[in-house]
Structure 1
Amino acid sequence: MWLWIPFTIFAAFMQSWRNAFQKQLSQDVNTTGVTLARFIYAGPLAALYVLALYAWQPVAMPHLSGLFWVYIVLASVAQIFATSLMVMLFRLRNYAIGVGLAKSEAVMAAILGALFFGAPLSALAWMGVFIGGLAIWLMSNPGSFRDISLSTVVTGLGSGLCFALTVLWVREASLLLELPFPYSAAWVLVAVITTQTIILISWLLMKDKQTLVALWKRPKLTLTISLFSCLGSLGWFTAMSLQTAAMVKTLGQIEVLFTLMISVVWFREKLKPKDKIGLALIVIGAIFVMLA
């Protein structure tokens, strides 16, 4: 019943490191290339995970319906846009605040889930949504409260919206398979990563082959990003096969704390007091939604 919790915490920890390595790669490779680095080696790793599951305990093969592939393509495209916008955030504000803004995905998932996916919110949950929105507004203001960075707000909220749509569609695809735990999540993982890799490589082959060359020249960093991305997605997809997207993503806000520690210790970045308050408010909002 509570198995989704350790998978969510594991996913948040892996994703915080993946974001850190993506920030490092973004100094030398453009946005599309950094986005592709997340997927390019992850497909074979995900396929090995599926093979390992079936070697351990064989179950029925899934029926991949047309609706399943609709959800997969929608989730794949949404996650590509979400990742690209997050990479843009790295260049707009500092690392921790960029990721903090993108963490609006938890709020978005709660709202969209209530409106379109049959997951209504209680008063306590809406309070959490309000606190999360306040945190995002606070963190998006680089100077005084009258000097709000509109580009950072729009990019951060756009990234959060795309990530929220990704997790909602991933959960719907996972439920369609009707396979035992954790096989449905494993198949969705392979399908999403493969679709994303095909889309991005095809685009770069037509428009920007030099980006592929740039990734080829940085094999260790690219493989590291793909590895942490695959592990993070494995955790997210498995948790969402057990629990609603809003619940998983609200608990997943713990990633903000991991990100803050990486930002301060590794990147030597300093946070303003109101930035720390904003990060704290995001966590408080997540707890409220979680308790609801």
Structure 2
Amino acid sequence: MFTIASLWIPFTIVASLGQVARNAMQRSLTGPLGTWGATNIRFLFGFPFSLVFFAVILVATGDSVTWPPMAFWPWLLLGALSQIFATGLMLAAMNERSFVVTTAYLKTEAIQTAIFGFVFLGDHLTAWRVIAILIATFGVVVTALRPGATRDLGSVRPTALGLVAAAAFALSAVGFRGAIINVPGVSFVTAASYALVWALFVQTLILTAYLLARAPKVLSDILGLWKPSMLAGFMGAAASQFWFLAFALTAAANVRTLALVEVLFAQAVAYYSFKQPLSARELAGVVMIVAGVALLVAV
């Protein structure tokens, strides 16, 4: 029987679709804006949309919120700062390697999220779910690694960028879940939306201040590209809204493992937008990702 607790599954799938779209939009803006300018798009233009989402949710639920407790802030800052770092590394990696392969490297975050979630939040997973995470993660590795990759020195930098970005994304997922579960006295929907508003506010403040001090021209360039930036910001805020809703309902590792379906969506984007074909090795990896995700949902 489908329950409220099971809503994390459709929430995650919708979030994954939105994230692939946002990543593709950000990638196209990296050229004119640079890595950190394109990174700031998701925060600067996403924050106003998060306020709209939050206002609608407050009206719909009738919840009222107070100033977040002290326990909320360390988790929020861990999530917000890790995500800024991870997003910058992700875009840098995408500039040096295939969109699909970079996405695959990033998806190694699933196993890292399981470890971080257990260490920091005490999230416990069943043996079957651990097996599902391992199968899906192995599928990601098969998708990402190509014959002779270890001999290709040119692949070392983008590989390192992708893997470190995955670790930072894993920490951000754990941090955001920790913040959400520390919002007291409201529904899970309100808690998730409230945490998102604060996260985007902190991220916008930090990265905009950094650009103002180090690269003020980038900020003016961002405003000059407000139309595509607005769309990327909306997609980013919408995807984050669904990520946070999923984090509110289950362990971050479950969410990030199911999010491996993003690799499938990325394949479609890469084929139709960037004309990057699917190899036999990548196809085998995709099969394992699907098998792992199917097992995760089934158990």
TM-score range, shorter chain: over 0.9
Q: 2: CA distance between counterparts of 1:88 and 1:284?
A: 30
Cα–Cα, structure 1 residues 142 and 222, in superposed 2: closer, same or farther, change >3 Å?
same
Task: State the partner residue of 1:98.
Answer: 102
Q: 2: CA distance between counterparts of 1:57 and 1:145?
A: 52
Q: Deviations over 1:88-117 (max 9, x none)?
A: 111121111111211112221112223332
2:67 aligned with 1:47: no
TM-score, with length taken from structure 2: 0.90
Task: State the partner residue of 1:260.
Answer: 267
Alignment of 1:73-112 (within 5 A): 73-112=77-116
Give identity over the alignment, percent.
28
Task: State the partner residue of 1:186.
Answer: 193
Q: 1: CA distance between counterparts of 2:158 and 2:46?
A: 29
2:15 aligned with 1:8: no
C-alpha deviation, 1:291, in angstroms? 4.6
2:178 aligned with 1:157: no
Task: State the partner residue of 1:271.
Answer: 278
Q: Deviations over 1:13-58 (max 9, x none)?
A: 1111001111111122211001001111111111111212222342
Task: State the partner residue of 1:172.
Answer: 178
Q: Is the 8 A contact 1:14 1:228 kept in 2?
A: yes
Q: Output the amino acid matched with 1:104.
A: T
Cα–Cα, structure 1 residues 145 and 259, in superposed 2: closer, same or farther, change >3 Å?
closer
Q: Is the 8 A contact 2:17 2:262 kept in 1?
A: yes
Cα–Cα, structure 1 residues 59 and 125, in superposed 2: closer, same or farther, change >3 Å?
closer
Instruction: Tell me the matched-pair count.
Output: 292
Q: Output the amino acid matched with 2:112.
A: M
- Residue of structure 2 aligned with 1:141, choices 132, 138, 145: 145
2:210 aligned with 1:206: no
SS of 1:65's equivalent in the other structure is coil
Structure 1 unmatched runs, 5+: none
Q: Deviations over 1:54-87 (max 9, x none)?
A: 2234223134122212211111100001111110
C-alpha deviation, 1:288, in angstroms? 4.2
Q: Is the 8 A contact 2:76 2:178 kept in 1?
A: no
Q: 2: CA distance between counterparts of 1:90 and 1:75?
A: 22
Task: State the partner residue of 2:119.
Answer: 115
Alignment of 1:4-43 (within 5 A): 4-43=8-47
Q: 1: CA distance between counterparts of 2:165 and 2:297?
A: 22
Q: Is the 8 A contact 1:177 1:184 kept in 2?
A: yes
TM-score, with length taken from structure 1: 0.92
